[in-house]
Structure 1
Amino acid sequence: MTEELETLVARYRAGGGVEGLPARHFIGGEWSPSASGRTMESLDPGTGQPFHRFASGDAGDVDRAVRSADAALKGAWSRVSPAARGAVLARAAILIREAGPRLAFAETLDSGKPLQEAEGDVQGAARCFEYYSGLPDKLEGRTLPLGPDHLGYTSWEPIGVTAHIIPWNYPLSTFARGIAPALAAGCTVVARPAEQTPLTALMLAEILMQAGLPAGVLNVVTGTGVETGAPLVAHPLVRQVTFTGSTATGIEVMRAAARNVTSVLPELGGKSPVVVLHDTDLDAAVDGVIGAIFENAGQICSAGSRLVVERAVHADMLERLVARARAIRIGHGLRRPDMGPITSAEQRARIAAFVDGARARGLEIATGGHAVTDPATGLGWFYEPTIIDRVPVDDPIAQEEIFGPVLAVQVVEDAEEALAVANSTRFALVAGVYTRDFSAAHDLARRIDAGQVYINEYFAGGIALPFGGNRMSGFGREKGVDAVRTYMKLKSVAARVSSGR
């Protein structure tokens, strides 16, 4: 821990509060209050107490931000060369790392996640800008063989003003992975972070201005989904929407965007299976499953929330998982626990309702299953690491996204049944496979319906690996080179170059 971070943590834990956090919208390169003058509270999930206030915007603030982005798109940003765009992103990566202690501190206070996870998110955000900084001057078109009398070629152009709806579980990471390729492509951005976690998006906007981004290229408007998110995705000047969140909300976003024939990149819900076959390295599989479901208290779209395990190793694996789950230390994120709180009281109540329903239906709660508080303070919105054994395929625990630290264990007889169970939900975001059999692993990876499959390690790949889902988990891909095309439109040109004589 750096000296700066130690000071921030010590001051906050001593009741000294937090100084210098952003409290206004970021529009046109300037901090701007809401036109209405209204504000909202930021709540610390580890205590349930407010620690900050920020601007609560409305459609008028959104309109100012979108028009600022549109003006920048047609003005200063359009005159910046691709290589210079890349240089801005490269400088941003350096500045993000320099601001790392303060970004991680704010992310932990806003979202509740353990400080070490927030520090990892900061490094991931910096790496994201590093990765995309090398792409702007390599977005090449091609020539087309139209014959001796014609010249044909294609060119890629920025799609226009892009809107980014940022979720509350990974506010910094999700913001970075969306805006970095959009900026690399030459687009301008209006972002609306979740009202639970607005701070790091605002901080990152200021960092990008310091890196050389022209005013108006990146704008951040804070407020509720109804008052800021809805008017943003429906704005007629927005040409592309990147949305990360629930399937139900994603459907409404697509409906609103359709009125303006605006493209949408939706990364939606998941109920991802982790398939463990009988020949696997159980130590590695247990490590993978624990991380897949209990990182960020299970508040991850791609969490491995279903363990699909062959009967031959079920008992051994369950015993190990239960022991590991019971040993997990929970507590305020600034104390670097193994697992932090749930980000909001509403989300904790939703998790509890799912587990209480399972208990009422007679399902076996192998461990956990209760809402709790921080053992050190008696405060905060925590939920025990929970494992529910022998969950039927059609049970809500196996079918619905709980978005919390709840693992559903599903027992199968062989790899073929594992495949059927893995594909038994309406979601198809991510899957994991653990086995020593190389052929079996890749056969399952081919036949499991998921946008991304991990083999013998979960959450692998980083920014270079395209990410996104199928079916009710969405479509399109973020991350990787593929993501940049989301923010571009292809133009074809055909010209007569000879009279034909």
Structure 2
Amino acid sequence: MTDLAATTLATGTLPGLPSRHWIDGGWHDAASGRTMESFDPGSGKAFASFARGDAADVQAAVDAALAAMTGRWRGITPSERGRILMRTAELIRANAEFYAVVECLDCGKPVGEARVDVASAARAFEYYAGACDKMHGLTIPLGHDYLAYSVNEPVGVTAHVIPWNYPISTTARGVAPALAAGCTVVAKPAEQTPLTALLLAETLKQAGLPDGVYNVVTGTGAEVGAPLVSHPGIAHVAFTGSVATGCSVMQAAARNVTSVTLELGGKSPAVVMADCDIETAAADILAAIYENAGQICSAAARVVIERAAQAEFLDRFVAGVRTLSLGHGLRNPRVGPVNSPNQLERISDFVEGARANGTEIVTGGSRTSDPDTGLGWFFEPTVLNNVKMSDRVAQNEIFGPVLCVQPFDDIEEAVAIANSTNFALVAGVYTSDFGTAHRLARDIDAGQVFINEYFAGGIEIPFGGNRHSGIGREKGLEGMRNYLRVKSVAARTSPRRTH
């Protein structure tokens, strides 16, 4: 890792980076011959180029995936699929340092966080490797003269539209269960972060995955994403991104009666009761909002705190914020850059709007740069205090290192504040009273609730949101059900009697 990071910081790039589509088991230039650049958020400079695809490349990838569904892949047993996925997990771990440096360079996050993401990707393949031969059907009792049963079948070709904030781990959490179910895949990584989805292609082939089962087409959402999700050959779309784009994806998929899983973000509350360990809660939430520079759909973006504990919490939290180091991800700071100039502008707009409205900015609140180079796209870790439920910063997903603090006086008010946005992805609860904890878990509208540890759990726990946070669940065995369809068979086993 030290050598890889040093080489990359010195040269501004890294040898061995993929630059073309992966279709039908091999590398292919874009049909148009066009390319586009990938930028290092830590420096703001381009470090790689890659194929800029369009509908022609999507068609080639879907054709390859359709052919693979009826080819060798169909005849591979579930147990052998499991062995392929397990070998994939092992190969990811064997190349984890290279994967982590590429992920850090492509999306900007500190390399220590990128290592965790790579480990998470390997664990996803390992988990679903064990599920391949266990998603069995049922027998249904109809009586002595009948045999009835259900069979789980792969849905077909699946499309995966991958976000830029967690490229490798989001790729794995969708692709691994799809392959485990026996589906084939066309992946479209974000144009800001295409590289680790492409690296995964060669890893899967090395693990024994047949050609055409996993395909990657790179490019923009308009030129690749739109024709992919609207393609009649796609049986299921897994999309992670904004609400507006998710609605467009759902509309496009509906024209072909294609099912969707949508993970569309959040404005998640962390409810802090005065009886909790305030020091632990402050440290936990510090990581839960500033990891990946706050660019996390499930970030603890709002602290909903009992008023009696507000001052102590803020003292401890702000003291923690002021210890956070900023810098290029390859130097492994506590907080890295945001992903793009557009994202930096969005964060700044929200904070400046709050400033203009008289919101108290306890710390942070400004753009900044890498202290070592003066380069890159950075925003200071920021705390906004006494934010009202109706404020723009409380209602919208900022997707940056900005925490909103919202005090309450009783548990009913805490629930009302927690449920006051259109989002319902995750929530955190901090209390020493388990009765209170489970009451809040019951009453807060969220797809997942963490008690006394934000981000508790892993690939085993179903993940997804309600309302504007999306449709369906990923991770766990629930995530694999997205890629299976049920066929029922009913047979009469004895002749009909005639009178």
TM-score where L is the length of structure 2 = 0.99
1:143 partner SS: coil
Instruction: For structure 1, list consecutive stretches of 5 or more residues without a partner in the other structure.
Output: none
Match of 1:438 among 418, 431, 434: 434
2:250 aligned residue: 254
Match of 2:105 among 109, 121, 124: 109
CA distance in 2, matches of 1:15, 1:252: 40
CA distance in 2, matches of 1:64, 1:15: 35
1:30 aligned residue: 26
1:281 aligned residue: 277
Write the mapping of 1:351-366 to structure 2, written as runs, cut at 5 A: 351-366=347-362
1:19-42 alpha-carbon deviations (Å, 9 max, x no partner): 110000000000000011100101
Match of 1:412 among 373, 383, 408: 408
1:128 aligned residue: 124
Write the mapping of 1:67-86 to structure 2, written as runs, cut at 5 A: 67-86=63-82
**Kept after mapping to 2: 8 A contact 1:90/1:130:** yes
Specify the code of the residue in structure 2 equivalent to 1:298. Answer: G
**Kept after mapping to 2: 8 A contact 1:247/1:473:** yes
2:387 partner SS: coil
Match of 2:443 among 441, 447, 456: 447
1:149 aligns with 2:108: no
**Kept after mapping to 1: 8 A contact 2:177/2:479:** yes
1:234-287 alpha-carbon deviations (Å, 9 max, x no partner): 000000000001111100000000000000000112000000001000111001
1:14 partner SS: helix
2:470 aligned residue: 474
Specify the code of the residue in structure 1 equivalent to 2:327. Answer: G
CA distance in 1, matches of 2:437, 2:418: 13
**Kept after mapping to 1: 8 A contact 2:12/2:47:** no
CA distance in 2, matches of 1:367, 1:193: 35
1:77-119 alpha-carbon deviations (Å, 9 max, x no partner): 1000000000000000000001101100000000000000000
2:171 aligned residue: 175
Match of 1:66 among 58, 62, 69: 62
1:195 aligns with 2:200: no
Specify the code of the residue in structure 2 equivalent to 1:229. Answer: G
1:7 aligned residue: 3
1:379 partner SS: coil
1:396 aligned residue: 392
**Kept after mapping to 1: 8 A contact 2:324/2:334:** yes
1:327-375 alpha-carbon deviations (Å, 9 max, x no partner): 2100000000000000101000000000000000111001000010001
CA positional deviation for 1:17: 3.0
CA distance in 2, matches of 1:472, 1:53: 34
1:301 aligns with 2:305: no
1:89 aligned residue: 85
2:191 partner SS: coil
1:50 aligned residue: 46
Worse-superposed segment, 422-431 or 12-21: 12-21
Specify the code of the residue in structure 1 equivalent to 2:266. Answer: G
CA distance in 2, matches of 1:476, 1:16: 40
1:418 partner SS: helix
CA distance in 1, matches of 2:197, 2:10: 26
Match of 2:490 among 481, 494, 497: 494
CA distance in 2, matches of 1:17, 1:395: 42
CA distance in 2, matches of 1:164, 1:12: 29
1:386 aligns with 2:386: no
1:373-428 alpha-carbon deviations (Å, 9 max, x no partner): 00110000000000000000100111000000000000100222111100111100
1:337 partner SS: coil
CA distance in 1, matches of 2:49, 2:362: 41
Distance change >3 Å, CA 15–CA 137, structure 1 → 2: same
Specify the code of the residue in structure 2 equivalent to 1:238. Answer: I
Match of 1:457 among 441, 453, 457: 453
1:424 aligns with 2:416: no
CA distance in 1, matches of 2:323, 2:135: 49
CA distance in 2, matches of 1:241, 1:313: 44
1:230 aligned residue: 226
**Kept after mapping to 1: 8 A contact 2:43/2:375:** yes
1:113-143 alpha-carbon deviations (Å, 9 max, x no partner): 0000000011111111110001111111111
Deviant stretches of 4+, over 4 Å = none
Q: CA RMSD in A?
A: 0.7
**Kept after mapping to 2: 8 A contact 1:371/1:384:** yes
1:144 partner SS: coil
CA distance in 1, matches of 2:257, 2:153: 18
**Kept after mapping to 1: 8 A contact 2:13/2:47:** yes
Specify the code of the residue in structure 2 equivalent to 1:484. Answer: M
**Kept after mapping to 2: 8 A contact 1:277/1:414:** no
CA distance in 2, matches of 1:322, 1:11: 35
Specify the code of the residue in structure 2 equivalent to 1:347. Answer: Q
CA distance in 2, matches of 1:485, 1:263: 12
Specify the code of the residue in structure 1 equivalent to 2:469. Answer: S
1:371 aligned residue: 367
1:271-323 alpha-carbon deviations (Å, 9 max, x no partner): 00000001000111001110110000000000010000001000111111111
1:338 aligned residue: 334
Match of 1:184 among 175, 180, 185: 180
**Kept after mapping to 2: 8 A contact 1:160/1:238:** yes
Specify the code of the residue in structure 1 equivalent to 2:257. Answer: V
Specify the code of the residue in structure 2 equivalent to 1:296. Answer: N
Identity %: 62
1:260 partner SS: coil
CA positional deviation for 1:500: 3.5
CA positional deviation for 1:16: 6.2
